[in-house]
Structure 1
Amino acid sequence: MVKKVSIIPAKPIAVIKGLAKETKKRVCAYCRISTDTDEQLSSYEAQVTYYEDYIRKRPDWEYAGIYADEGITGTNTKYRAQFNRMIEDAMAGQFNMIITKSISRFARNTLDCLKYVRILKEEGIGVYFEKENIDTMDSKGEVLLTILSSLAQDESRSISENSRWGIVRRFQQGKVRVNHKKFMGYDKDENGELIINEQQTKIVRRIFKEYLEGKSADKIAAGLTKDGILTATGKKKWHPTVITKMLKNEKYCGDALLQKTITVDFLTHKRVKNEGQAPQYYVENSHPAIISKEIFEAVQKEIKRRSELRGFGDKERRTKHSSKYPFSGKIFSSSCGAVYRRKRWGPTNKYKKYVWNCRTRDEEGSKVCSMKAVDEEKLKEAFVRVANKVIKDSDGFIKKMIDNIQKVLNENRNEVKLETIDSKLAELRE
């Protein structure tokens, strides 16, 4: 005789209690997997099939659909589109019960888990966690849920820490990972190693060359846009901030600074600039260079020089309106070297006047800088006198300017081609 086996489904007490008040419930399911590997994608498909069959087989349940997030992190509900849509549909009254595999599938964040459970409960919508056998409509449900969701959050923290350990280990070994699709000048070979993109290399070298020739990031960006050159991401318009980031990126000289940013919250995944909170790792000659180290260092010095010239040398004390007025960033203290800034003097409009005062003296007092404030009207008069003098002796002024330019360019002779210098001088003589 052939054996015949029949399955008698279990009857979780929590589910029975949750259904006792209503003969038929509109039930949906929520499922999620953490990554997009083939194995877990199969798990994802299996979950969808399982819950659809599970709901449809119950005569006292009405199938209300499946909400499934594929390959999304569970620590923060912000990035789960299907989860958020499910909550919206719940508020619209489309169902009155949610089934999910476990607390960790619903949320690994205790606060999020309890928040949404309570919101749903207020609307008369229960959540049944199959693995833990918890029905949130049950009186004991929330107590158990609080304990178990806290454990789920600890699990998520542990996973995050293990992942971080692996990343730091790669940093210590000098392994560099770069998103080459957003990195102008490079591609990847079949082994995942960075290789030079010869076509894009010309663009990178042009940017560094033009900056050393005296162009600003704005003018370089405008020139590239005008010439129809696409950005690394295929956009037509170049922005000065992109140029500045490229000029400061050590990867163009073949090195790599690792752990420039760090994650400060494993729940929100918020990242901030690493300013000493964690170790950094500098890998020399990690990949082929597009720019020589000499040119890269020359550019960094030029960036610093221009920054200090505008009074931006100290990052924490940058002036708020660096170019708001004609004299902004152009007047410096002969005592301390700090930039002057505009201030209003006088208690009322009748007696008001504007002066320019040393920033250091203004903030730290006369003991630090002895230079006094200068009346703006006197500055204007002085400027007019100098301008008239230049106009009267334009040849002498241009000669002095050319001599000064020649002196500066000679210091960078190794970085800038001589023919470029000669062409610039010829333009000035015209």
Structure 2
Amino acid sequence: MNEKYACYVRVSTDRDEQVSSVENQIDICRNWLERQGYEWNENSVYKDEGISGTIFKDRPAIQLLLEKAKKKEINMVLFKSISRLARDLKDALEIREIFLSRNVRIISIEEGYDSDVAGKNDMSFEMSSMFADHYSRMLSGSISSALAAKVRRGQHIGKIPFGYTRKDGILHIKDDEAEIVRMIFDWYINEGLGFKTITHKLNQLNLKPKEIQKWQVTSVQTIIRNRLYCGDFVLNRYTTMKVEGKKKQIQNPESRWLIFQDHHVPIISREWWERANSNLTKTKKKISPWNDLRGILKCSECESSIVPLLSWRLLANGKKKDYRYMKCSKYRRMGEAGCVNHSPILYDDVKALLIKQLLEKSYMLKLSFEDQFQGKKHDRFVVVEKEIDDLKNKAAKLIDLHLEQLISKEEFKQKRDEIDWKIHNLENEKIELSRQEYTTERIENIKQAFDVLSNDSQNLHHALRTLLERVVVHPQGKMDIYYSFHVE
């Protein structure tokens, strides 16, 4: 048979691996194909390993298959069961509709589902998808109950917090780190120091946090706000919700928290924790200033974002005037341990300058973008492929370093997760670049973005992100502007 088929396999956890391993799924698909008269092709297998079936848009292999279906590079997809395709009902139906709209046949071997036989309105697929979705929710509830039972027995779940070690599931105080925790609370309560000042002092004393290289403001704030340090364990503080195909963690109302008091040995007294957090409910939440330049301005020294900070000055008439100035976000979080202190530049001045530069460029802009965008797309595709290869080589070297015990298990996991995250993003960019509609859409976006600049629309942020690749800001205020288009 000359059909261009693809086999999709997925496992999400070690427990999943026990009953539905990659090899097991491949064997089932291969057996079905050979019995139907197909010639087996190892290159037809597409794997998503260690990825939840409830996160549709974060699965590179399924995204690649959908893209191949759109390009008519495949005309049949098979998988062991619908739960391998997706555990979310909405996602399963959406994936099926995309495949069927591109005349791609769908085979689910375990359920005996064949879209060529069933047609587009068959209920068996919907029912099987619903059961997969229901099973996923039941499993989540069972896991939550099991975790709560562990906590009631005095065991700790989740990451080991700074200041503690864990043995047989129980938290024990780690003396050297616990002393730093007490120091942080003492500075905050008795000396009245703020998060930023404490962060700077910790870095100046060269005291190391648990997982990152330098202390950050958020690290200090998390310690002071965390009830864990007075011996309590909080469960059900957060809920994971699905928004636009991706998981997002939100905080539950405090009334839904499960607080286990005196769960483990405290590092500080309950009185100290309450004193440190007595103004927690009274403090107004600090609102970040609106930033049309977010994601565009980058520090020349550390490549972190340049962000606006709110400040004020007193005028001669006694009135207070607010203004926004730009700072390196890493310097703001970590002080001199993170980056250098840039000369202050006003947010409104930077924005006005960039809009002026862009409007001047618009008068010289070529009417036809197609050739230049095709060239840029090809160049970027080559760069992305090279970056992926480089990262895979780094991952291989990382394994060698771990096996030779040159780096710890924690360092290996942290660096490997970082590499995997970068590869995942680059793979998604490759998919985007390979789209045939990319050039036409990009041209239209550029033209619309210039219209927004001229009309001073509320969509200014989107327009600036479309027209500017990045703006590199140097410590003395000099800026290097990189445009996403070419002018003669």
TM score, norm. by length of structure 1 = 0.60
The one of 215, 222, 226 equivalent to 1:245 is 222
CA 1:281/1:38 → structure 2, altered by over 3 Å: closer, same or farther?
closer
Closer, same or farther in 2 for the Cα pair 1:121/1:258, shift >3 Å?
closer
For residues 155-201 of structure 1, give each alpha carbon's deviation from its aligned partner in whole angstroms, at most 9, with x where no partner exists.
32333333333344445555432411xx2111112x12212222222
Once residues 228 and 319 of structure 1 are traced to their aligned partners in structure 2, the CA distance between those partners, rounded to angstroms, is 31
Q: Which residue of 2 aligns with 1:227?
A: 205
Q: How many residues in Structure 1 have an aligned counterpart in Structure 2?
A: 297
Matched ranges for 1:5-154 at <5 A? 23-37=1-15, 40=18, 43-52=21-30, 54-55=32-33, 59-61=37-39, 63=41, 64-138=43-117, 140-144=119-123, 145-154=125-134
- SS at 2:103's partner residue? coil
> Does the 8 A contact of 2:224 with 2:276 survive in 1?
yes
Rg larger for: 1
Match of 2:262 in 1: 285
- Give matches, 1:224-373, under 5 Å: 224-236=202-214, 238-264=215-241, 269-276=247-254, 278=256, 280-301=257-278, 304=279, 313=282, 315=284, 324-326=311-313
Q: CA deviation at 1:210?
A: 1.7
**C-alpha distance in 2, partners of 1:146/1:161?**
23
Confirm or deny: 8 A CA contact 2:232 2:259 kept in the other structure: yes
Contact 1:110–1:149 at 8 Å: present in 2 too?
yes
How far apart, CA to CA, are the structure 2 residues paired with 1:67 and 1:215? 54
Measured after TM superposition, the shift of residue 130 of structure 1 is 1.1
For residue 272 of structure 2, give the secondary structure of its aligned residue in structure 1.
helix
Q: Please give the alpha-carbon distance, in whole angstroms, between the structure 1 residues aligned to 2:261 and 2:255.
A: 22
Encode CA deviations 1:54-97: one digit per residue, 9 max, x unaligned.
Answer: 43565445635212233432223233333223323333443221
Equivalent in the alignment of 2:464: none
Cα distance in 1 for partners of 2:249, 2:287 equals 27
1:375-427 deviation line (CA, Å, top 9, x unaligned):
x82569xxxxxxxxxxxxxxxxxxxxxxxxxxxxxxxxxxxxxxxxxxxxxxx
Q: Distance in 2 between matches of 1:122 and 1:42?
A: 29
In the alignment, is the contact (CA less than 8 A) between 1:67 and 1:82 conserved in 2? yes
2: distance between equivalents of 1:171 and 1:83? Answer: 37
Q: Deviations over 1:286-316 (max 9, x none)?
A: 2222223333333224xx2xx7xxxx92547
Secondary structure of the residue that 1:228 maps to in structure 2? coil
CA displacement 1:328-375 (0-9 Å, x = unmatched):
xxxxxxxxxxxxxxxxxxxxxxxxxx9xxxxxxxxxxxxxxxxxxxxx
CA distance in 2: counterparts of 1:40 and 1:170, whole angstroms: 23
In structure 2, C-alpha distance between the alignment counterparts of 1:161 and 1:228, rounded to whole Å: 43
Return the offset for 1:218: 0.4
The one-letter amino acid of 2:142's match is: N
Q: Are residues 1:199 and 2:176 paired?
A: yes
Separation in structure 2 between the aligned mates of residue 123 and residue 194 of structure 1, nearest angstrom: 55
Q: Deviations over 1:223-281 (max 9, x none)?
A: 22233333221322x22122111111121122223322234569865432121462x33
Corresponding residue for residue 370 of structure 2: none
Q: Name the CA distance, whole Å, in 1 between partners of 2:11 and 2:96.
A: 20
Q: For the residues of structure 2 that align with 1:124 and 1:277, how far apart are their CA atoms?
A: 50
| TM-fit CA distance, 1:41 | 6.6
Deviation for aligned residue 1:323 = 5.9
Match of 1:350 in 2: none
What's the counterpart of residue 317 of structure 2? 377
Unmatched 5+ residue regions in structure 2? 290-308, 321-488
Amino acid at match of 1:51: C
Q: Distance in 1 between matches of 2:58 and 2:166?
A: 29
Tell me the residue number matched to 1:156.
136
Structure 1 residue 283 displacement after superposition:
2.4
Q: C-alpha root-mean-square deviation of aligned residues, in Å?
A: 3.3
Greater relative contact order, per chain length (Cα 8 Å cut-off, separation 6+): 2
Q: Which residue of 2 aligns with 1:358?
A: none
* Alpha-carbon spacing, 1:91–1:57, altered in 2? closer, same or farther (3 Å): same
Structure 1: distance between partners of 2:221 and 2:58: 31
Mapped to 2, the partners of 1:206 and 1:152 lie a distance apart of 50
The 3 A distance-change label for structure 1 pair 153 and 323 is closer
**TM-score, normalised to structure 2's length?**
0.53
Give 1:100 deviation, angstroms.
Answer: 0.8
CA distance in 2, matches of 1:147, 1:44: 25
Which residue number corresponds to residue 208 of structure 1? Answer: 185
Question: Structure 2 CA distance, aligned partners of 1:122 and 1:235?
Answer: 50
